[in-house]
Amino acid sequence: MKVSVSVLSVYDRLINAVKKVNESSADFLHIDVMDGNFVPDKKFPIEVLKDKKTINKKPLDVHLMVDKLEQVKKYALLKPEYLTFHVEILEDYEIIDYIKSLGIKVGLAINPDTSVELLIPYIDDIDLVLFMSVEPGKGGQTFKEEVIEKVKRLKEFAPSEVIISIDGGVNDKTISLCKYAGCDMVVSGSFVTNSLKYDDRINQLR
Ligand code: DX5
Ligand code: ZN
Protein backbone atom coordinates (compact mmCIF):
# COMPACT_ATOMS: atom_id res chain seq x y z
CA MET A 1 0.00 0.00 0.00
CA LYS A 2 1.36 3.39 -1.03
CA VAL A 3 1.01 6.10 1.61
CA SER A 4 0.66 9.79 0.82
CA VAL A 5 0.89 12.06 3.86
CA SER A 6 -1.32 15.17 4.00
CA VAL A 7 0.08 18.10 5.98
CA LEU A 8 -3.21 20.03 5.97
CA SER A 9 -3.81 19.61 9.72
CA VAL A 10 -0.34 21.01 10.50
CA TYR A 11 -0.50 23.98 8.13
CA ASP A 12 0.77 26.33 10.83
CA ARG A 13 3.84 24.12 11.35
CA LEU A 14 4.37 23.42 7.69
CA ILE A 15 8.16 23.45 7.43
CA ASN A 16 8.59 21.15 10.39
CA ALA A 17 5.91 18.77 9.07
CA VAL A 18 7.43 18.62 5.58
CA LYS A 19 10.82 17.81 7.11
CA LYS A 20 9.22 15.01 9.10
CA VAL A 21 7.63 13.63 5.93
CA ASN A 22 11.06 13.79 4.25
CA GLU A 23 12.56 11.71 7.05
CA SER A 24 9.74 9.16 6.91
CA SER A 25 9.07 6.29 4.52
CA ALA A 26 6.04 8.12 3.01
CA ASP A 27 5.74 7.62 -0.74
CA PHE A 28 4.28 11.08 -1.42
CA LEU A 29 3.69 14.46 0.17
CA HIS A 30 -0.02 15.25 -0.28
CA ILE A 31 -0.81 18.96 -0.60
CA ASP A 32 -4.43 20.08 -0.22
CA VAL A 33 -5.01 23.27 -2.16
CA MET A 34 -8.20 25.15 -1.25
CA ASP A 35 -9.51 28.19 -3.11
CA GLY A 36 -12.24 29.45 -0.76
CA ASN A 37 -14.89 28.64 -3.43
CA PHE A 38 -14.95 24.90 -4.06
CA VAL A 39 -14.47 24.57 -0.29
CA PRO A 40 -14.86 27.37 2.27
CA ASP A 41 -11.24 27.48 3.42
CA LYS A 42 -8.25 28.99 1.60
CA LYS A 43 -4.95 27.13 1.94
CA PHE A 44 -1.68 26.49 0.09
CA PRO A 45 -1.55 29.35 -2.41
CA ILE A 46 0.90 28.65 -5.21
CA GLU A 47 3.28 31.35 -3.92
CA VAL A 48 3.76 29.54 -0.59
CA LEU A 49 4.42 26.26 -2.33
CA LYS A 50 6.92 27.72 -4.80
CA ASP A 51 8.70 29.36 -1.90
CA LYS A 52 8.89 26.13 0.11
CA LYS A 53 9.59 23.89 -2.87
CA THR A 54 13.20 23.23 -1.97
CA ILE A 55 12.35 21.86 1.49
CA ASN A 56 10.33 18.92 0.21
CA LYS A 57 12.21 15.80 -0.93
CA LYS A 58 9.22 13.53 -1.71
CA PRO A 59 7.26 13.26 -4.94
CA LEU A 60 4.31 15.64 -4.74
CA ASP A 61 0.71 14.47 -4.77
CA VAL A 62 -1.26 17.69 -5.25
CA HIS A 63 -5.01 17.67 -4.54
CA LEU A 64 -6.74 20.76 -5.89
CA MET A 65 -10.03 21.69 -4.26
CA VAL A 66 -10.61 24.60 -6.65
CA ASP A 67 -13.42 25.53 -9.00
CA LYS A 68 -11.36 27.15 -11.80
CA LEU A 69 -9.44 25.12 -14.35
CA GLU A 70 -6.98 28.04 -14.70
CA GLN A 71 -5.82 27.22 -11.16
CA VAL A 72 -5.07 23.67 -12.24
CA LYS A 73 -2.70 24.98 -14.92
CA LYS A 74 -0.90 27.16 -12.37
CA TYR A 75 -0.19 24.26 -10.02
CA ALA A 76 1.28 22.23 -12.86
CA LEU A 77 4.28 24.57 -12.52
CA LEU A 78 5.23 22.66 -9.36
CA LYS A 79 5.88 19.59 -11.50
CA PRO A 80 4.07 17.21 -9.16
CA GLU A 81 4.03 13.45 -9.66
CA TYR A 82 0.21 13.56 -9.55
CA LEU A 83 -1.94 16.60 -10.19
CA THR A 84 -5.46 15.80 -9.04
CA PHE A 85 -8.52 18.01 -9.40
CA HIS A 86 -12.22 17.33 -8.99
CA VAL A 87 -14.39 15.64 -11.60
CA GLU A 88 -17.18 17.97 -10.45
CA ILE A 89 -15.48 20.91 -12.23
CA LEU A 90 -14.43 19.07 -15.36
CA GLU A 91 -15.95 20.21 -18.66
CA ASP A 92 -13.98 18.38 -21.32
CA TYR A 93 -10.70 16.58 -22.01
CA GLU A 94 -8.63 19.67 -22.78
CA ILE A 95 -7.17 20.11 -19.30
CA ILE A 96 -6.36 16.39 -19.02
CA ASP A 97 -4.48 16.47 -22.33
CA TYR A 98 -2.67 19.64 -21.31
CA ILE A 99 -1.39 18.23 -17.99
CA LYS A 100 -0.33 15.01 -19.67
CA SER A 101 1.53 16.97 -22.35
CA LEU A 102 3.68 18.35 -19.52
CA GLY A 103 4.61 14.83 -18.43
CA ILE A 104 2.53 15.06 -15.24
CA LYS A 105 0.18 12.29 -14.17
CA VAL A 106 -3.48 13.28 -13.93
CA GLY A 107 -5.83 12.39 -11.09
CA LEU A 108 -9.54 12.99 -10.76
CA ALA A 109 -11.01 13.39 -7.27
CA ILE A 110 -14.62 12.58 -6.54
CA ASN A 111 -16.74 13.78 -3.63
CA PRO A 112 -18.70 11.37 -1.42
CA ASP A 113 -22.07 12.34 -2.93
CA THR A 114 -20.98 12.39 -6.59
CA SER A 115 -21.91 9.43 -8.77
CA VAL A 116 -18.94 7.30 -9.76
CA GLU A 117 -20.44 7.03 -13.26
CA LEU A 118 -19.27 10.61 -13.87
CA LEU A 119 -15.74 9.18 -14.24
CA ILE A 120 -16.63 6.82 -17.09
CA PRO A 121 -15.87 9.21 -20.03
CA TYR A 122 -12.40 10.05 -18.64
CA ILE A 123 -11.26 6.81 -17.09
CA ASP A 124 -9.09 5.66 -20.01
CA ASP A 125 -7.23 8.98 -20.06
CA ILE A 126 -6.30 9.45 -16.41
CA ASP A 127 -3.73 7.92 -14.07
CA LEU A 128 -5.44 8.07 -10.69
CA VAL A 129 -8.86 8.34 -9.04
CA LEU A 130 -8.96 10.00 -5.62
CA PHE A 131 -12.05 8.93 -3.70
CA MET A 132 -13.02 11.41 -1.01
CA SER A 133 -14.06 9.49 2.08
CA VAL A 134 -15.01 12.75 3.85
CA GLU A 135 -16.51 16.02 2.61
CA PRO A 136 -13.51 17.89 1.23
CA GLY A 137 -12.25 20.89 3.11
CA LYS A 138 -10.70 19.88 6.38
CA GLY A 139 -8.68 17.21 8.12
CA GLY A 140 -9.65 15.09 11.11
CA GLN A 141 -13.12 14.01 9.93
CA THR A 142 -14.75 10.57 10.16
CA PHE A 143 -14.33 8.10 7.28
CA LYS A 144 -17.56 7.58 5.31
CA GLU A 145 -17.87 3.85 4.81
CA GLU A 146 -20.32 4.26 1.90
CA VAL A 147 -17.33 5.11 -0.29
CA ILE A 148 -16.25 1.48 -0.33
CA GLU A 149 -19.14 0.48 -2.61
CA LYS A 150 -18.15 3.27 -5.00
CA VAL A 151 -14.57 2.00 -5.16
CA LYS A 152 -15.85 -1.48 -5.97
CA ARG A 153 -18.11 -0.09 -8.70
CA LEU A 154 -15.20 1.82 -10.26
CA LYS A 155 -13.16 -1.36 -10.43
CA GLU A 156 -15.82 -2.83 -12.73
CA PHE A 157 -14.99 -0.35 -15.50
CA ALA A 158 -11.55 1.14 -14.74
CA PRO A 159 -8.42 -0.20 -16.47
CA SER A 160 -6.23 -1.98 -13.92
CA GLU A 161 -3.41 0.56 -14.40
CA VAL A 162 -5.51 3.37 -12.91
CA ILE A 163 -4.30 3.98 -9.35
CA ILE A 164 -7.08 4.04 -6.79
CA SER A 165 -6.42 6.38 -3.89
CA ILE A 166 -8.65 7.35 -0.98
CA ASP A 167 -8.57 10.49 1.11
CA GLY A 168 -10.09 11.43 4.45
CA GLY A 169 -10.32 9.72 7.82
CA VAL A 170 -7.79 7.02 6.97
CA ASN A 171 -6.34 5.53 10.15
CA ASP A 172 -5.40 2.19 11.74
CA LYS A 173 -9.10 1.21 11.94
CA THR A 174 -10.36 2.29 8.50
CA ILE A 175 -7.31 1.02 6.60
CA SER A 176 -8.75 -2.49 6.50
CA LEU A 177 -11.77 -1.20 4.56
CA CYS A 178 -9.47 0.56 2.09
CA LYS A 179 -7.54 -2.67 1.56
CA TYR A 180 -10.73 -4.69 1.22
CA ALA A 181 -12.00 -2.26 -1.45
CA GLY A 182 -8.77 -2.71 -3.40
CA CYS A 183 -7.18 0.72 -3.00
CA ASP A 184 -3.58 1.06 -4.19
CA MET A 185 -2.86 4.15 -2.18
CA VAL A 186 -4.17 6.00 0.87
CA VAL A 187 -3.89 9.63 1.85
CA SER A 188 -3.56 10.09 5.57
CA GLY A 189 -3.35 13.41 7.39
CA SER A 190 -4.07 13.77 11.09
CA PHE A 191 -3.51 10.08 11.91
CA VAL A 192 0.10 10.44 10.77
CA THR A 193 0.84 14.05 11.68
CA ASN A 194 -0.57 13.74 15.23
CA SER A 195 2.28 11.37 15.97
CA LEU A 196 5.83 12.26 16.97
CA LYS A 197 7.22 9.51 14.76
CA TYR A 198 5.42 9.52 11.42
CA ASP A 199 6.79 6.10 10.49
CA ASP A 200 5.07 4.43 13.45
CA ARG A 201 1.75 5.46 11.91
CA ILE A 202 2.71 4.97 8.27
CA ASN A 203 3.77 1.39 9.03
CA GLN A 204 0.29 0.68 10.40
CA LEU A 205 -1.16 1.64 7.02
CA ARG A 206 1.12 -0.43 4.81
C1 DX5 B 1 -9.64 16.85 3.12
C2 DX5 B 1 -8.29 16.64 2.50
C3 DX5 B 1 -7.52 15.54 3.12
C4 DX5 B 1 -7.24 15.71 4.58
C5 DX5 B 1 -7.05 14.34 5.16
O6 DX5 B 1 -10.34 17.73 2.34
O7 DX5 B 1 -8.40 16.37 1.13
O8 DX5 B 1 -6.31 15.31 2.38
O9 DX5 B 1 -6.11 16.48 4.86
O10 DX5 B 1 -6.90 14.51 6.52
P11 DX5 B 1 -7.35 13.35 7.52
O12 DX5 B 1 -6.50 12.16 7.22
O13 DX5 B 1 -7.05 13.95 8.86
O14 DX5 B 1 -8.81 13.09 7.31
ZN1 ZN C 1 -6.56 15.74 0.06
pLDDT, one tens digit per residue, over 159-188 is 999 999 999 999 999 999 999 999 999 999
* Most informative mutation of 9, 66, 172, 195 for ligand 1 (most atoms within 8 A of CB): 9
Confidence of residue 51 (pLDDT cuts 50, 70, 90): confident
Reduce the DSSP state of residue 106 to 3 states and report it.
Answer: strand
CB environment 14-43: b (16+ within 10 A), e (fewer) = beebbebbeebebbbbbbbbbbeebbebeb
- Choose which CATH entry (3.30.420.40, 3.20.20.70, 3.40.50.720, 3.40.50.1370) describes domain 2-205: 3.20.20.70
Mean pLDDT of the chain: 96
In this model, does residue 54 exceed pLDDT 90?
A: no
Q: How far apart are the first and last CA of the chain?
A: 5
Residues 6+ apart with CB under 8 A from 169: 133, 134, 141, 142, 143, 144
pLDDT digits (tens, 9 = 90+) for 94-136: 999 999 999 999 999 999 999 999 999 999 999 999 999 999 9
**Catalytic residue status for 32:** yes
Task: Kindly report the pTM of this predicted structure.
Answer: 0.97
